[in-house]
Amino acid sequence: MWKKALSAALLATGLAASPAAWAEAPAPYQITPELEAAAKAEGKVVFYTATDVAVAEKLAELFKSKYPGIAVQVERAGSERVFQRIGQEYSTGIYNADVIETSDAVHFEYFKRQGWLAPMVPQEVADKWPADERDPDGNFAAYRAHLSVIAYRTDLMKDADAPKTWEDLLDPRFKDKMVKAHPGYSGTVMTSTFVLSQLLGWDYFEKLGKQNIMQVQSSTEPPKKLAQGERALEVDGNEYNVFRLIDEGKPIKIVYPDEGTPLAVGNAAVLKQAPNPNAAKLFYAFLFSLDAQQLNSDFGGLRSFHPGVKEKADRTPLSKIKILHSDPEKLEPEIPTIKANYEKYFGT
Amino acid sequence: MTSDIQVQALPVQGRRRSIDFSWPTFALLTLVLSVLVLLPLFWLVYYSFRSDTGAGATFANYIALVADPTLLRAYGLAIGMALAVGVLACIIATPMAWLVARTDLPGRRTIRMLVTASFVTPPFLGAIAYEILAAPNSGIVNIMYRSVFGLEASEYLVNIYTFSGLVFAIACFTFPYVFTLVANALDKVPSDLEDASSILGGKSMTTLRKVTIPLVLPAMLAGTLIAILQALTMFGSPAILALPAGFHVITTKIWSLFQFPPRLGLAAAAALPLLIITVILLRAQKSILGRKGYTVLGGKSGTPRITELGPWKWPAIAFVFCVLSLTIILPYLAIIKTAFTGTVGDPINLSTLTLSHWRFVLFEFSATQLALRNTFLLGFLTATAVTAIALIVSYLVIRRSVPGSGFLGVLATAPVAIPGIVLGVGLFLSYANPTFQLYGTIWILLIAFMTIELPAGYQQMSSAFSGVHPELEEAGRIVGASRLRTLWDITAPLLRTSVVAAWCFVFVGTIRELSATILLTTANTKLVSVIIYDLNESGDLGAICVLGIILLAASFAVVFIANRVPVLGGSQMNTRG
């Protein structure tokens, strides 16, 4: 794949002697009436996403109201499941997906290496996105970000009893009370497990595994288990789902531990083999538009890299939180270890 | 394919000149069934000896199988779970079957019907219903328990996220297998044997213990084995209940091997012991059922003796009501409640009642329509294809019209030994490659469902065939019709009721399938069972319950209509007299 993509690129540019030219992002594009018309002719865009299904469907609705006549097929699963699905499909020559988005940054390095992505840079991204939140070659950009947070039910746990640090979670008083998502399913949790294993060591997880934790799959699920009252405390889970539930009036509070909170960045990209290339291009540009990003923030509780987005006043701004960043290049070789250790300490 | 053959067979001018299509049909069916059954198994074995890294032939996968403690543990837990399910199902089902078949318990017909309803319920939906009912903190049962006794928030009565919880939830939806087999056997136990016991002075309990129970013991054991088999190969319920409890069973472990980058070789090697266990269990079942002969020694020589319960009536009613509550009434109420309230933990009152889940599923969730369409399309296609194939195969086998036709019967029964997840792995390996690009289409699912459902369809059709005397067919043949034409014009109409029943059976089986499906669907071939599973992984219980209600309502409707449409015979026309 890699070789094929490379030679194709070389042939196309005719610059076989200068590999640097291949690594340059294409010129930014804007949404033109021609692009809209071409997208409408295709009539459909298929969006593989790991964002919570209600948020993703809301975004699709906004797109449909802006560009009537183009249906959006939302395929939501956990990041690692989306990755598995696209891997299975591409290895068997099935090209269903137009635009893809997961919260595991490693995936996009992999896609890029495989040459599966079509480089393109929406004007909005070129103008407004911080340089380290987009691929220098223009293959992908950070469409969303969110923290993986500790949170608890205020009616089931007093504020004074709530944990303040990661180490607090090892206290026997939290035994049987916690719920946690799975790194084999969730990109967010894969990222946070990596970051925390670097920070606290694997023996931290070994001890945590003895706390009799309820294991769920998606990082969207622990907040929902809190909302149900099934558990009083979540070890990890999407900050944005917690925001949404707080907005709905559920008695939940977030803890930003002293050691820091892991950040998961959700990249998005257009696939080279997209069956609806124009609709994909249009949808991709739409994803980074202020309207879409503001909707993600208001309805979805997601963090945005668009400087124009205004967050609701009751949310702690990122600038006030100690953030733990992950390096996808260092994470990637660790994935088998993380999965194996996790199964060893947590059983699945 | 049958219609082509018929059209060619139409211009029948006389017996001599027409070609007998038995042979070509036989050859074609043998080919089709071999491809359906043997090809996936071949690839499964082939891949199990191949390295995942592409290094050629290897035993590494089998070494990993015995060396990897996580795989061994998953196997151990799965076997333990399956045995426990079998025992529990047998303990629940046998007394109930006896009460329904051989006592004067009121409402026996209704009870049988309700047990059938629990058979229609997909086990994964049952497992989700039990999450709603018996999760330790938010479970409705535990909430009520705490409020009745005024207990602390950390107290709970039952916890479904445990090994025993999982066993219980699976047994609730597999006991109908034992129930049906035992009840049918009790229907057939001739009363003269029991009469003989009474005449010789045996009290009713002695008769029960010494005559009736030994006579239905084979059916009990056979039913228990089926329950064990079902539990062992089940994917949905363990995925929903065992993973939160922090353990894998073998099916969920195999599924986790498909995480990207997939370890296909190891998955294939891990699937093969499951196949072997299944074959062993089925052989055990066959050897037990082989003794069934003496059960019906006296034929239907009299109506079964009815035991009068007398003062035991009320405990009996309480027992049956308890079982039905646990397996049908409570789960269904939980599903309905969750579909109409905000979150699972909410109490029911005017402020929590909402249609938001319905709005989400019907109007906002873009996968709904596609999944419903795919599910019912596949249900119809599979049911029709399987019934047609089963009809022809059982005709060829029972009437022995072609030498070697017994082999066809074996082929049609063989898939029963292939667990869904194993077949899923095998089909993925067979058809998800550049030569056969079937992965990603509904055809790979159709193949999977046909293979899975063929044994059930074939069993039903062949038992129906043995009830039709060949003399009517012989009459047709003498008048000059070809075999297939006789089959179509004479035998099939005679078998209408059984055909409709087999069709419904396959249809219901198809829409509740998850274990093979989960490996074979893609974005464009979503099925309702898979989106329910996806939604479960993200914790959207309300939406799941709405989809579950739609799925159940549609399945009941299809079964109802199929039994009422006059063209199809209707159930009142019992042509077998």
Q: Do A215 and B360 touch (CB under 8 A)?
A: no
Q: Check residue B198 and give its pLDDT.
A: 80
Instruction: Give the confidence band of B12 by pLDDT, cuts at 50, 70, 90.
Output: very low
Q: Check residue A119 and give its pLDDT.
A: 95
Residues 25 to 54 of A: which have CB under 8 A from any B CB?
46, 48, 52-54
Across A27-31, B294-298, B414-418, the highest mean pLDDT is recorded for: A27-31
| Residue A179: CB atoms within 10 Å | 26
**Minimal CA separation from A332 to chain B, in Å:** 12
3-state secondary structure of A213: coil
Q: Do A216 and B244 touch (CB under 8 A)?
A: yes
Q: Check residue A212 and give its pLDDT.
A: 92
Question: Quick check: B137 contacting A, CB < 8 Å?
Answer: yes
B541 contacts on A by Cβ (under 8 Å): 224, 228
Q: Can you tell me which residue has the tokens 């059983």? A: A347
C-alpha angle A134-A135-A137 in degrees, rounded to nearest 5: 140
pLDDT digits (tens, 9 = 90+) for A17-48: 334 434 578 999 999 999 999 999 999 999 99
Q: Do B344 and A228 touch (CB under 8 A)?
A: yes
Task: Single out the residue of A99, A96, A39, A27 nearest to residue A69, CA to CA.
Answer: A39
Domains and CATH numbers, chain B: 20-55+358-577 (1.10.3720.10), 59-344 (1.10.3720.10)
Q: Which two tokens stand for residue A217?
A: 């799959």
- Which chain B residue's Cα is nearest to A343? B70
* A96-105: average pLDDT: 93
A103 contacts on B by Cβ (under 8 Å): none
B138, B256, B434 member nearest A184 (Cβ): B256
A71, A75, A348 member nearest B243 (Cβ): A348
Q: Check residue A12 and give its pLDDT.
A: 41
Q: Do A96 and B539 touch (CB under 8 A)?
A: no
pLDDT digits (tens, 9 = 90+) for B236-289: 999 999 999 999 999 999 988 887 677 888 988 998 998 899 888 888 877 776
Question: Quick check: B540 contacting A, CB < 8 Å?
Answer: yes
Residue B574 has pLDDT above 80, yes or no: no
Across A263-267, B15-19, B65-69, the highest mean pLDDT is recorded for: A263-267
Cα–Cα distance, B203 to B180 (Å, whole number): 27
B137, B440, B534 member nearest A92 (Cβ): B440
Question: Quick check: A319 contacting B, CB < 8 Å?
Answer: no
Q: Do A213 and B246 touch (CB under 8 A)?
A: yes
* A70-98: average pLDDT: 88
Residues 248 to 277 of B: which have CB under 8 A from any A CB?
248, 252, 256, 258-262
Cα–Cα distance, B258 to B260 (Å, whole number): 6
Rg (CA), chain B: 25
Cα–Cα distance, B271 to B250 (Å, whole number): 8
Q: Which helix (H) or strand (E) holds A180?
A: strand A178-180
User: Which of A44, A48, A62, A76 is best to mutate for the B interface (most B CBs within 10 A)?
Assistant: A76
Residue B515 has pLDDT above 80, yes or no: yes
Task: Single out the residue of A106, A113, A142 nearest to residue A335, CA to CA.
Answer: A106
Q: Check residue B570 and give its pLDDT.
A: 40
Q: Do B366 and A347 touch (CB under 8 A)?
A: no
Residue B575 has pLDDT above 50, yes or no: no
A46 contacts on B by Cβ (under 8 Å): 523
Q: Can you tell me which residue has the tokens 């198809």? A: B510
Domains and CATH numbers, chain A: 2-14+22-145+265-310 (3.40.190.10), 147-263+320-346 (3.40.190.10)
Question: Quick check: B489 contacting A, CB < 8 Å?
Answer: no
Q: Check residue A32 and give its pLDDT.
A: 95
Cα–Cα distance, A146 to A264 (Å, whole number): 6
* B64-75: average pLDDT: 90
Residue B295 has pLDDT above 50, yes or no: no
Task: Single out the residue of A191, A150, A142 nearest to residue A296, CA to CA.
Answer: A142
Q: Check residue B120 and give its pLDDT.
A: 80
Q: Do A96 and B161 touch (CB under 8 A)?
A: no
Across A69-83, A278-292, B129-143, B310-324, the highest mean pLDDT is recorded for: A278-292
> pTM for this one?
0.84
Q: Do A218 and B365 touch (CB under 8 A)?
A: no
**Close Cβ partners of B311 (under 8 Å, ≥ 6 residues apart):** none
Q: How many CA atoms lie within 13 A of A45 on its CB side?
A: 33
- Angle between helix B163-188 and B213-233 (nearest 10): 140
A72, A80, A92 member nearest B433 (Cβ): A92
Instruction: Give the confidence band of B19 by pLDDT, cuts at 50, 70, 90.
Output: low
User: Which of A214, A338, A342 is best to mutate for the B interface (most B CBs within 10 A)?
Assistant: A214
Average pLDDT, chain A: 89
Question: Quick check: B310 contacting A, CB < 8 Å?
Answer: no
Q: Do B537 and A215 touch (CB under 8 A)?
A: no
Question: Quick check: B488 contacting A, CB < 8 Å?
Answer: no
Least confident interval from A251-255, B22-26, B70-74, B251-255: B22-26
Q: Do B538 and A213 touch (CB under 8 A)?
A: no
Cα–Cα distance, B120 to B554 (Å, whole number): 11
Q: Can you tell me which residue has the tokens 């997961």? A: A102
**Minimal CA separation from B353 to chain A, in Å:** 15
The more confidently predicted of residues A164 and B353 is: A164
Residue B470 has pLDDT above 90, yes or no: no
A347 contacts on B by Cβ (under 8 Å): 245-248
Question: Quick check: B337 contacting A, CB < 8 Å?
Answer: no
Amino acid type, A147:
L
Average pLDDT, chain B: 83
B245 contacts on A by Cβ (under 8 Å): 214-215, 347
Question: Quick check: B293 contacting A, CB < 8 Å?
Answer: no
The ipTM assigned to this model is 0.80
Q: Check residue B20 and give its pLDDT.
A: 65
- Which chain A residue's Cα is nearest to B343? A228
**Minimal CA separation from B54 to chain A, in Å:** 14
A229 contacts on B by Cβ (under 8 Å): 137-138, 345
Question: Quick check: A176 contacting B, CB < 8 Å?
Answer: yes
Residues 341 to 380 of B: which have CB under 8 A from any A CB?
343-345, 360, 364-367, 370
**Minimal CA separation from A54 to chain B, in Å:** 8
pLDDT digits (tens, 9 = 90+) for A163-178: 999 999 999 999 999 9
A230 contacts on B by Cβ (under 8 Å): 135-138, 344-345
B244, B344, B360 member nearest A214 (Cβ): B244
- Which chain B residue's Cα is nearest to A216? B244
Q: Check residue B431 and give its pLDDT.
A: 84
Across A196-210, B98-112, B273-287, B397-411, the highest mean pLDDT is recorded for: A196-210
Q: Check residue A264 and give its pLDDT.
A: 93
pLDDT digits (tens, 9 = 90+) for B147-167: 899 888 778 899 999 999 999
Task: Single out the residue of A125, A142, A124 nearest to residue A133, CA to CA.
Answer: A142
**Minimal CA separation from B69 to chain A, in Å:** 10
Task: Single out the residue of A198, A214, A207 nearest to residue A169, CA to CA.
Answer: A207
Residues 223 to 242 of B: which have CB under 8 A from any A CB?
242
For B267-296, b where at least 16 C-beta lie within 10 A, e where not — what string? bbbbbbbbbebbeebbeebeebbeebeebe
Q: Which helix (H) or strand (E) holds A269?
A: strand A261-270
Residues 213 to 272 of A: which have CB under 8 A from any B CB?
213-218, 220-221, 224-225, 227-232
Burial of B348 per CB tally in 10 Å (0-12, 13-18, 19+): exposed
A–B: how many Cβ contacts below 8 A? 144
Instruction: Give the confidence band of B3 by pLDDT, cuts at 50, 70, 90.
Output: very low
